[in-house]
Amino acid sequence: MDRLRQRLADDAERAGLLDIAYRMVDSPVGPLLLAATDQGLLRVAFENENHDAVLESLAGAVSPRILEAPRRLDEAARELDEYFTGSRRVFDLPVDLRLATGFRRAVLARLAEIPFGDTRSYAEVAAAAGSPRTVRVVGTACALNPVPLVVPCHRVVRSDGSPGRYRGGEAAKLALLGMEGKA
């Protein structure tokens, strides 16, 4: 059955009929859904987000031509595994940010600049993105970050140093910060 699925995915890819490939990966923060277009990693979803709902959302927002096709995501899975085992601090993946627009996209660009093992407050990110009064918008951009982990919104904390909320849940954020030596 696995060979048949892979053949279907390969045929769809060759025929240009596969707009979004996805796969599941295990991680220390639970199962992750990875989805990618031919432009790059489109979505990383935590288990608490309901993976079926995420795929349905992607079908509506990007394309209904979605198929489980793990090969397209081999590099993303490898880099995430390296990150979780401590041998990777920076991701080198192409990322498709079409799900983020406007100022939210500018915020994601600033998040990508926060080094491994460091944190920034929501206010610091707002200032770095050129709009110091938009702390709440930064919070929303972090909450809606389509590629958490790769674009490290878990490194954004409240001004008092407390972790704040996280798309993957508070336990996941604390685990990630702890893994990077910040919790």
Catalytic residues: 153
User: Parallel, antiparallel, or unpaired: how do β-strands 20-25 and 32-37 relate?
Assistant: antiparallel
User: Alpha-carbon torsion 109, 58, 39, 151, what sign?
Assistant: positive
CA torsion angle for 155, 160, 161, 163 (degrees, to 10)?
Answer: -60
* Amino acid letter for position 162: S
Q: What does the alpha-carbon distance between residue 94 and residue 173 come to, in Å, rounded to a whole number?
A: 23
Query: How many other C-beta atoms can be found within 10 angstroms of the C-beta atom of residue 135?
Result: 17
Contact 11, 3 (CB under 8 A): no
Contact 23, 34 (CB under 8 A): yes
> What is the rounded distance in angstroms from the CA atom of residue 74 to the CA atom of residue 59?
22
Give dist(CA 120, CA 105) in Å, integer.
Answer: 17
